[in-house]
Amino acid sequence: MSVRRASRSRSAVFAPLGDVGRAVRVEQRLADAIRVGLLADGERLPSEQELATMLGVATVTAREALQALREKGLVTTVRGRGGGSFVHRPHKMDEQALSHRLAGMSRVELRDRGTLYRVILAGCAELAAEYADEQDVEELRSLITPDASGHQGVEFTLAVAALTQSARMTREMIRQEADFGVLLRFGAQTYQEALVDAIAKHDGDTARRTVQAHVDGALAGLAELHRAVR
């Protein structure tokens, strides 16, 4: 991930929080970033004091959040010189784990989550077409991959979200990827190419419709799999 692209997505992760449920929100924000790979496995996190300053919370709040992440196995802490808190990213879900997670959803929940994912990503694509410059477009092209179901596919999606220039929107897309995106089968290189072409032309309408059509196809396949595993 380039410095420019990474700074946009990561700045959303470490932006100040509001006043409600801060420890839980710090935990959730970092957990989502870890699960989608925005924070890399083995990466050293800021210290409790640094994290508290970046997020605009008390040091004790950052400490509680890191403790909760440790309990979930998403962070490990090494004491002493050279120590600190380090990201422990779970391995990519295998097919059996994905099927088990999908089977635990009702048809209504699946449709509801899919609708939210579709609306948010389509909105991000439309705004990306409005704001992207030539360098942004080239960075998006560098992320196009035949197998968009892996980490690079997630990077592509988050890079599109970051182009909205909205930290809140980027964080929401990170949350959606962590919560639901892993279940979708994004394997269409032609989709990514078409989306980047629309963004390069500053054609927000085409960008939005390109995302909608692709997500609709992915959700249709997911619905079939859902019927099979239930």
For 82-101, the pLDDT digits (tens) are: 789 999 987 665 566 677 78
Which residue, 206, 132, 196, 123, is CA-closest to 163? Answer: 132
Q: Are residues 123 and 210 in the same domain?
A: yes
CA distances from 76 to 47, 82, 150 (A): 13, 13, 24
Percentage, residues of the chain above pLDDT 90: 57
Contact 86, 78 (CB under 8 A): yes
158, 173 Cβ separation under 8 angstroms: yes
Tell me how many domains the chain contains: 2
What is the structure's pLDDT at 221?
87
**3 pLDDT tier (thresholds 50, 70, 90):** low
Q: Where are the beta strands (DSSP E) in the chain?
A: 75-78, 84-87
Per-residue tokens: 48: 């409790």
Which phi and psi angles does 16 have, rounded to 5°?
A: -55, 150
The whole-number pLDDT of residue 203 equals: 99
**Boundary (domain end) residue, out of 67, 87, 107:** 87
- Same domain for 132 and 213, yes or no, is yes
Q: What is the pLDDT of residue 59?
A: 94
Mean pLDDT taken over the chain:
87
Q: What is the Cα–Cα distance from 139 to 20, expressed in whole angstroms?
A: 36
Residues β-bridged to residue 76: 86
Instruction: Indicate if 79 and 143 belong to the same structural domain.
Output: no
Flag whether pLDDT at 189 surpasses 90. no
pLDDT for the residue numbered 116: 95
- Residue 191 pLDDT exceeds 80: yes
Residue-range definition of the domain harbouring residue 54: 3-87
Tens-place pLDDT, residues 11-35: 777 776 655 578 888 999 999 999 8
Q: Which of 39, 71, 87 is the last residue of a domain?
A: 87
Backbone phi and psi for residue 90, each to the nearest 5 degrees, phi listed first: -60, 150
Write the CATH number for 216. 1.20.120.530
Q: Is 222 exposed, middle or buried (0-12, 13-18, 19+ CB in 10 A)?
A: buried
In angstroms, the CA 33 to CA 158 distance is 11
Domain limit, last residue, from 87, 115, 135:
87
**Residue 154 structure tokens:** 């997630």
pLDDT of residue 225: 85
99 and 78 share one domain: no
The model's pTM is: 0.79
pLDDT (tens digit per residue) in 136-178: 999 999 999 876 666 677 889 999 999 999 999 999 999 998 8
Question: Both tokens of residue 222?
Answer: 């997911």
What confidence tier does 127 reach under pLDDT thresholds 50, 70, 90?
Answer: very high
Question: Two tokens at 188?
Answer: 């269409």
